Structure 1
Amino acid sequence: MLLVAVLGFATARPRGLPEATVALPAAGLVLLLGWVSPADAAAQARTLLPTLGFLAAILLLAHLADLDGVFTWLGARLAVACRGKPRRLLVLTFAAAAGTTAVLSLDATVVLLTPVVLATARRLDLPPRPHVYACAHLSNSASTLLPVSNLTNLLAFSASGLSFAGFSALMALPWLVTTAVELAVFLRFFDLSGRATAPAGEVPPAPVFALVVLGVTLAGFGLAPLVHVEPGVVAGISAVVLAARALSARRVRVPTLIAEANPLLCLFVLGLAVVVEAVSRHLLGEPLRALLPDSAGLPQLLLTAVLAAVLANLVNNLPATLLLLSVLGPHPAPGIVLAMLLGVNLGPNATYLGSLATLLWRRVLMSAGETPRWRDFLRLGALTVPTTLAASTVALWAVLQLR
């Protein structure tokens, strides 16, 4: 009941109250009732702190990149490059959304790229639905490539024992296969005939400084482990560089920077983790432990991915990840962890409730006067989730055979 209350409040966010409003009291109640000991909760918090620090840094970095005009410039480039063809715009939107999700996390795709894509389609007088739905799907399904692409990835990365490069190498083929399958389904699902009836407009100057910082940041993610530096430090340094430039130009204030790092979201994750730990210990842990395999053969990987996808749509993908990692224990097989990650990241495309990012995407669209159709979302999910889940898991199994 506590978990349902926490997730229900985080989904509805009445009066715009932060997600932590219910999560922290719920965690306190769990501790008070003795379902999780204070020592175990403190140990879990210490484990999560580096991950949450990275999350805060990457959220701030994405906001500062937007402040420098990266997404406005990208939208203008999409409008010109598509040459008025909706089919070409969809392909370019896929590339932009997949890249943004991979490098700057799914939140950047939902909050920053989606409004730009919507404005681009409207400017060209093209139907926006295919392109904004692409942002929704890829915010989930394209978030499997790098440890930094999703909070679920960060949690799984710390449990997998893999290096940054090792994680990315194993997930590259599943990521490519997933994106290709999604694109094929979208191209058949939507009517992409006709041409734009409005001019693309002018492209603003490229935000060179911000683009260079983002490029160096991405390279730093891969190189930092070689010198025993955490990726979170790289993201933090990059955010400080862009923040210092914005502060010196008086384009942003310190309170805004703190708000964009979203410390309340980090507190929500800590509170949620304590509640999920209680659920794992006293309710779902044993049944899941009996179902989850401990070897990484193809049937076992498929079973893990399907279980993770179903659980993500029942309790949302973030608590599903915390719950599954708790059940898998301190030293799970990397292949099983990555298959679980495919399930919790791809599965949420089946329903609105599978991912907080999808719910946020819906709010972003409705605030811009574009109400998504739930029937289209469910039909797209029914077409894409089973195929992407199966294809990406087979791709993961194939890559694991080459290790």
Structure 2
Amino acid sequence: MVIATGILPWRDTLVLADRVVPVLGFVAAITIVTELAAEAGVFSALAGRLALWGRGRRILLWLFVLALAVVSTIFLSLDTTAVLVTPVVVLLALHARLPPLPFALATVWLANTASLLLPVSNLTNLLAEGRMDVGGPAAFAALVAAPAAVGILVPVIVLSLMFRKELRGRYSAPPVERAPDRTLLLVSAIVVAALLPLLVSGLPVWIPAAVAAVVIVVLFGIRRPGALSVNLVPWQPLGIAAGLFVLVETAHARGLTAFISNIGGNGTDLLSLLQLSALGTVSSNAINNLPAYLVLEPIGHSPVRLAALLIGVNLGPLVTPWASLATLLWHQKITGLGVTLSWPKFMLAGLGVVLLTVPLATLALWLVAGSH
């Protein structure tokens, strides 16, 4: 309606489309790849291997699960961890007769806080990289590496201390289930493994993701055509994201930028960066991290300020259930598996982690940025 009526000028609409269509295309392609890889049994097979490598020691299995959540989030996005890794990890815990809540909580916290390192880790990062113009994924990672490390280490330490009693002792490794189609499993695993380095090669990320999606769709068309469906495309999240892009762009075209410039600061000193990351954190937990980023992006006048904003909208959405789409998707998965959760306790624990993680990550960013 805002486009059709001219509330958002046509020229602004074309500029917006040029920016976000490749981003949404990447989201669609990577979702198809990960959904079909999960259907082929890639994540289940990997979890089974982790159970064997744990050698019956709970703490060792815990470390492997944490590593899986981190790697999945960094290379395949936070939504992949929330939607595909969570049920695999929870079922692994249940089959090994371990309490599932520590593993479930680890996946959702790390899905959010480990999503800072690469552009592909989070939709907000993809949007920010285009504005930063720092020279590709490697330069992006170099800028945010220190705060990203804080975003991973602090939640891991907190979780390990919270559940230290549950992580003592041993477990019985569940039997590894044999994939019904081993060829499909192996080729899908190769496609995913080949995709990971290509996503950080400097190519526009939608290109390798689209090629991988075509390859794996053709593979399933040959081996298991019944698994192919138009529902593999995440229509609802894409529609929500596209709508938010248009509405927030319209608000900026009608004066929102001038308003937020008065409350977001404009420097790269530690206090200004803390102000921006805190604003991103509060906004994410109030209205969700994607619209929070879109609203606040214009006051990220430099790569360092945009990185501070990413700290807030990536590491901060651990308090309210709606702070990130990944958390809502995660909750849907764990309740379907019979895992109960107290939202007040979840929010209180998340608040404690956020109060530690966001300031420390912002401090790390300031120290690194100051050294350059």
TM-score, structure 2 as length reference: 0.91
Distance of 1:194 and 1:185 partners within structure 2: 16
The corresponding residue for 1:401 is 370
Separation in 1, partners of 2:120, 2:335: 28
- The one-letter amino acid paired with 1:66 is A
Q: Is the 8 A contact 1:295 1:333 kept in 2?
A: no
**Are the equivalent residues in 2 in contact too, given 1:294–1:333 (CA < 8 A)?**
no
Residues 351-362 of structure 1 mapped to structure 2, 5 A cutoff: 351-362=320-331
Q: Structure 2 vs 1, CA of residues 161 and 359 (structure 1 numbering), >3 Å: closer, same or farther? A: same
Quote the residue 1:291 is aligned against.
263
- Say which of 320, 341, 344 aligns to 1:372: 341
Counterpart residue number, 1:328: 299
Partner of 2:148: 175
Q: Is the 8 A contact 1:75 1:120 kept in 2?
A: yes
> 1:256-271, aligned counterparts within 5 Å?
256=229, 258-271=230-243
Whole-Å Cα distance in 2 between the matches of residues 81 and 380 of structure 1? 30
Whole-Å separation in 1 of the counterparts to 2:149 and 2:78: 16
User: Does the Cα contact within 8 Å between 2:58 and 2:171 map onto a contact in 1?
Assistant: no
Cα deviation code 1:266-310 (max 9, x no counterpart): 232221112223444557533321122333222222211111111
Secondary structure of the structure 1 residue equivalent to 2:199? helix
Correspondence for 2:307 = 338
Residue range with higher mean Cα deviation, 314-323 or 58-67? 58-67
Evaluate the alpha carbon distance shift between residue 45 and residue 398 of structure 1 in structure 2; reply closer, same or farther with a 3 A threshold. Answer: same
Which residue does 2:210 correspond to in 1? 236
Shift of 1:79: 1.9
- Superposition deviation, residue 35 in structure 1: 4.0
Q: Give the letter aligned to residue 59 of structure 2.
A: R
Is the 2:59–2:167 Cα contact (8 Å) retained in structure 1?
yes
- Conservation of the 8 A alpha-carbon contact between 2:75 and 2:199: no
Q: Is the 8 A contact 1:124 1:196 kept in 2?
A: no
Mapping of residues 140-219 of structure 1, within 5 Å = 140-162=112-134, 163-190=136-163, 191-196=165-170, 198-202=172-176, 204=178, 207-219=185-197
Count the aligned residue pairs.
Answer: 366
Structure 1: how far apart are the matches of 2:186 and 2:271?
Answer: 47
Instruction: State the identity as a percent.
Output: 34
CA, structure 1 residues 75+120, in 2 after alignment: closer, same or farther (shift >3 Å)? Answer: same
Instruction: Give unmatched runs, 5+ long, in structure 1.
Output: 1-27
Contact 1:141-1:179 within 8 A present in 2 as well: yes
Check whether the contact 2:82–2:326 (CA below 8 A) recurs between aligned residues: yes
Structure 1 position 31, deviation (Å) = 4.2
Mapped contact 1:178–1:392 kept (Cα < 8 A): yes
2:206 partner SS: helix
Shift of 1:90: 2.5
Indicate which of 5, 20, 26 corresponds to 1:48.
Answer: 20
TM-score, normalisation: structure 1: 0.84
User: Which one-letter code corresponds to 1:217 in the other structure?
Assistant: L
In structure 1, C-alpha distance between the alignment counterparts of 2:188 and 2:68, rounded to whole Å:
16
Measured on the aligned residues, the alpha-carbon RMSD in Å equals 2.2
Distance of 2:169 and 2:51 partners within structure 1: 12
Query: 1:61-85, CA deviations, whole angstroms, 9 ceiling, x for partnerless residues?
Result: 1112212221101221222233333
Letter in 2 for 1:244: V
Q: What residue in structure 2 maps to residue 60 of structure 1?
A: 32
**Aligned equivalents of 1:315, 1:280: Cα separation in 2:** 17
Change beyond 3 A, Cα 1:251–1:175:
farther
The unaligned stretches of length 5 or more in structure 2 are none
Measured after TM superposition, the shift of residue 321 of structure 1 is: 1.1
Of 138-147 and 214-223, deviating more is 214-223
Aligned to 2:103: 131
CA distance in 2, matches of 1:236, 1:281: 32
Amino acid at match of 1:312: S
- CA distance change for structure 1 residues 220 and 193 in 2, over 3 Å: closer, same or farther? closer
C-alpha deviations, 1:340-360, integer Å up to 9, x for none? 011001111122121111011
